[in-house]
């Protein structure tokens, strides 16, 4: 069994009952239409009689096909060769009732057609008490006949010929099996169609299952990356709090604790795998920078630029946090003069562009350093948007700048 077949065998996917019924009805209506057209082309008589009889055979065919499905569905999870073997085995006994119905319901029409055709030729077809088929031929047409017996019928000379012996039970079953063979292949054709529909349903289910697994893996990755941010920030915040306590700035320390409490209440209020509005992300970063301003009251300045039309844009929660931390660490902390951190957003060619910049010394975070910083941001954007997102970072005129470009998606 190959991998695809194994997946199909293990899948719980099935063909819906509605689709099964529609396929059965379509198959037998096609049979009804083709046989009707064939009868019209051949010029069969008694077309009205043939139609309703053919309709009954069609209904029986639908019923027997439904029984075939009831058996086949028990083997939906088995390998294809098993299902094919079962179809080959059960299609023949299922085709026999259809052929029996066909033989029984068209028997009188066939006899009527024989008599009509014989009458047009001047003959008379009948059966004797033993069930043998006899034909009465006018004596005027005896010159071409051998072994005839002359009789008088109503004063008219005729020759009575035994055209066909009474059919035996074996003869009857031969005729039924001959018709059943055609219906057998019709049932096998539907079984093949059912297997194709089942394979399609199983493939769709496998794709849905794979999408769920991929989505779960993506959510786990995003959650892991997001959770990396919180302890990293808390470590820095606790260091700052410790510095305030050690320098006997208890009022500032208490204010930082309250601000830190508000920050974490805000940052932990949503699922870490869900997006937030850009307005919420900016508000969160204002709270963070308020904490840092307690550490650098004379050196840290902030500037936010968020156009009103971009406030409802979706971004991963706390995606700006590591970038702003880097600006504080490598811009504000490393400078002995006031440094402005600017957070701005704009729309450019249908994409959302967010920049985090500072006018500090312009030094970049060390590659492979202790912080998660830029690498975390890149990984989160890659997990969330794939190649549709990009990050560029480096020294800029008068400082350092990081730019994020992501798809522009608005809430609601």
User: Following CA atoms 123, 126, 131, 134 in sequence, which dihedral angle do they give, to the nearest 10 degrees?
Assistant: -20
Residue 2 clears pLDDT 50, i.e. is over it: no
| 306 contacts 352 by C-beta, under 8 angstroms | no
Nearest-angstrom CA–CA distance, 110 and 46: 10
Q: What are phi and psi of 14, to 5 degrees?
A: -135, 165
| 159 contacts 146 by C-beta, under 8 angstroms | no
Tell me the pLDDT tens digit for each residue of 127-153: 666 666 666 666 555 554 444 444 444
Tell me the pLDDT tens digit for each residue of 52-105: 888 999 999 999 999 999 999 999 888 889 999 999 999 999 999 998 888 888
State residue 212's pLDDT score.
74
The top-scoring range by mean pLDDT among 111-115, 183-187, 245-249 is: 183-187
For the ranges 10-14, 19-23, 72-76, the lowest mean pLDDT is seen at 10-14
Secondary structure (3-state) at 251: helix
The set of residues, in sequence order, having a beta carbon less than 8 Å from that of 181 and lying 6+ positions away, is 95
Nearest-angstrom CA–CA distance, 37 and 43: 10
Angle of CA points 197, 200, 203, to nearest 5°:
150
Q: Between residues 208 and 2, which one has the greater pLDDT? A: 208
- The pairing of beta strand 149-153 with beta strand 275-277: unpaired
- What are the extents of the domains in the chain? 3-112+169-208, 249-407
> Average pLDDT, stretch 177-197?
90
Confidence of residue 220 (pLDDT cuts 50, 70, 90): low
Nearest-angstrom CA–CA distance, 378 and 373: 9
Within 13 Å, how many C-alpha atoms sit on residue 28's CB side?
21
Q: Residues of the chain with pLDDT > 90: what percent?
A: 29
Nearest-angstrom CA–CA distance, 339 and 358: 7
> Average pLDDT, stretch 27-33?
92
Angle of CA points 329, 335, 338, to nearest 5°:
105
> Average pLDDT, stretch 242-259?
79
> Average pLDDT, stretch 280-286?
89
State residue 91's pLDDT score.
92
- Going by C-alpha positions, the residue among 405, 383, 401 that lies closest to residue 393 is 401
The CATH topology of domain 249-407 is Heat Shock Protein 90 (3.30.565)
Q: Between residues 220 and 140, which one has the greater pLDDT? A: 220
State residue 87's pLDDT score.
93
Q: Which two tokens stand for residue 310?
A: 């971009």
Nearest-angstrom CA–CA distance, 280 and 317: 9
């Amino acid at each position: 069994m190959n991998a695809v077949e194994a997946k199909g065998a293990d899948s719980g996917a099935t063909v819906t009952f509605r689709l099964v019924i529609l396929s059965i009805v379509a198959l037998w209506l096609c049979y009804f239409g083709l046989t009707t057209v064939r009868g019209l082309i051949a010029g069969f008589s008694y077309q009205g009689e043939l139609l309703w009889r053919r309709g009954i055979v069609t209904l029986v065919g639908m019923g027997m096909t439904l029984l075939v499905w009831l058996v086949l569905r028990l083997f939906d999870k088995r390998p294809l060769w098993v299902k094919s073997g079962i179809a080959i085995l059960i299609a023949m006994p299922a085709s026999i009732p259809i052929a029996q119905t066909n033989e029984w319901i068209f028997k009188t029409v066939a006899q009527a057609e024989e008599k009509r055709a014989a009458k047009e030729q001047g003959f008379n077809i009948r059966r004797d008490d033993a069930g043998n088929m006899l034909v009465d031929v006018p004596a005027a047409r005896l010159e071409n006949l051998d072994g005839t017996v002359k009789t008088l019928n109503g004063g008219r000379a005729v020759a009575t010929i035994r055209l066909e012996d009474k059919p035996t039970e074996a003869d009857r079953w031969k005729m039924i099996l001959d018709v059943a063979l055609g219906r057998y292949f019709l049932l096998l054709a539907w079984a093949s169609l059912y297997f194709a529909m089942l394979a399609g349903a199983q493939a769709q289910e496998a794709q849905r299952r794979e999408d769920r697994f991929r989505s779960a893996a993506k959510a786990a990755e995003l959650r892991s990356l997001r959770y990396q941010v919180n302890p990293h920030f808390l470590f820095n915040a606790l260091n700052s709090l410790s510095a305030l306590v050690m320098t006997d700035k208890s009022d500032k320390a208490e204010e930082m604790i309250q601000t830190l409490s508000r920050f974490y209440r805000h940052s932990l209020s949503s699922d870490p795998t869900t997006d937030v509005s850009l307005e919420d992300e900016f508000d969160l970063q204002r709270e963070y920078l308020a904490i840092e301003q307690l550490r650098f009251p004379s050196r840290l300045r902030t500037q936010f630029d968020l156009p009103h039309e971009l406030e409802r844009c979706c971004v991963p929660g706390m995606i700006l946090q590591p970038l702003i931390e880097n600006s504080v660490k490598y811009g504000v902390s490393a400078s002995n003069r006031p440094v402005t951190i600017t957070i701005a957003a704009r729309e450019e060619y249908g994409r959302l562009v967010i920049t985090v910049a500072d006018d500090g010394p312009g030094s970049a975070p060390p590659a492979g350093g202790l912080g998660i910083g830029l690498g975390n941001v890149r990984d989160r954007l890659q997990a969330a948007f794939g190649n549709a997102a990009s990050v560029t970072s480096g020294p800029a005129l008068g400082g350092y700048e990081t730019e994020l470009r992501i798809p522009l998606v608005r809430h609601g």
